[in-house]
Amino acid sequence: MSINAYRRAQEIAATPRSNEYRLMSQITGEMIAARDQNLKGGALMPVLHRNRITWNTFGNLCASPENQLPGDLRAGIISLALWVDRHTSQVMAGVEKIDDLISVNRAIIDGLSRENGASLTKGNHFSPEAVSPALTE
């Protein structure tokens, strides 16, 4: 099967929640790898930037009046996005560690997996074990 056919099939089968789950799993796996390699300063920038951009996007989407999530959930996501932005700056400055960002992302991954039930649990290619073995440590 060609790569384009695989991508088309994935786009048809993917849901917004499964895409969010996969994205958060990938970013979190990258942050865990960076932590485990003891990366510091500028070496952390690419993964921290990717995580920050993702959270800024989540926050902006939740701030939209067209967003259909419950208001309290939207407010919580916006609050987390603001916290991630501030904490990321502190990690980049060497004041804080990356572990809290990893913990927040893991909580979101867990929530997305519970929300989607069996579609994101064992046996599916979106499970944390399949996306990033480091997530299961």
Q: What is the residue range of 31's domain?
A: 3-136
Cα–Cα distance, 36 to 102 (Å, whole number): 12
Average confidence (pLDDT) over 103-122? 72
**Residue scoring higher pLDDT (88 or 122):** 88
Number of folded domains in the chain? 1
pLDDT (0 to 100) of residue 13: 62
pLDDT given for residue 119 in this prediction = 38
Asked whether the predicted pLDDT for residue 120 surpasses 90, the reply is no
Q: What's the mean per-residue pLDDT of the chain?
A: 81
Q: Which of 111, 110, 112, 86 is nearest to 100 (CA)?
A: 86
117: alpha, beta or left? (left if phi > 0; alpha if psi -120 to 50):
left
Interval 35-56 mean pLDDT: 95
Tell me if residue 10 falls in helix, strand or coil.
helix
pLDDT of residue 41: 86
